[in-house]
């Protein structure tokens, strides 16, 4: 029963996950990609909507991973 709905659940979760990832802000410059410090010694704390998007991304990623494992088990 659940196996018939699982692909649709995974598609919905993946679209939401991509959207949440794209909503996150990145203050990193090109120097950070090569090991440089892009923050200049300051600490960035997530607050308000930024924290909600961050935690939501983690929750959706975990749900997507769990649905992938369930798909493997039901195969």
Strands (E), the chain: none
3-state secondary structure of 5: helix
Nearest to 66 by CA among 1, 18, 2: 2
Q: How do residues 19-73 score in pLDDT, each as one tens digit?
A: 999 999 776 656 565 666 555 666 778 899 999 999 999 999 999 999 999 999 9
Domain of residue 50, residue span: 2-74
Q: How far apart, in whole angstroms, are the C-alpha atoms of residue 1 and residue 24?
A: 36
Contact 70, 5 (CB under 8 A): no
Q: How do residues 15-33 score in pLDDT, each as one tens digit?
A: 999 999 999 977 665 656 5
Please give the tally of structural domains in the chain.
1
Instruction: Write down the pTM of the prediction.
Output: 0.77
């Amino acid at each position: 029963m659940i196996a018939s709905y699982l692909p649709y659940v995974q598609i919905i979760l993946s679209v939401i996950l991509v959207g949440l990832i794209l909503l996150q802000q990145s203050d990193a410059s090109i120097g950070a990609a090569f090991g440089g410090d892009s923050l200049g010694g300051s600490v960035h704390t997530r607050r308000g909507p930024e924290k909600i998007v961050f935690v939501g991304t983690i929750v959706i990623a975990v749900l997507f991973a769990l649905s992938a494992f369930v798909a493997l088990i039901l195969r």
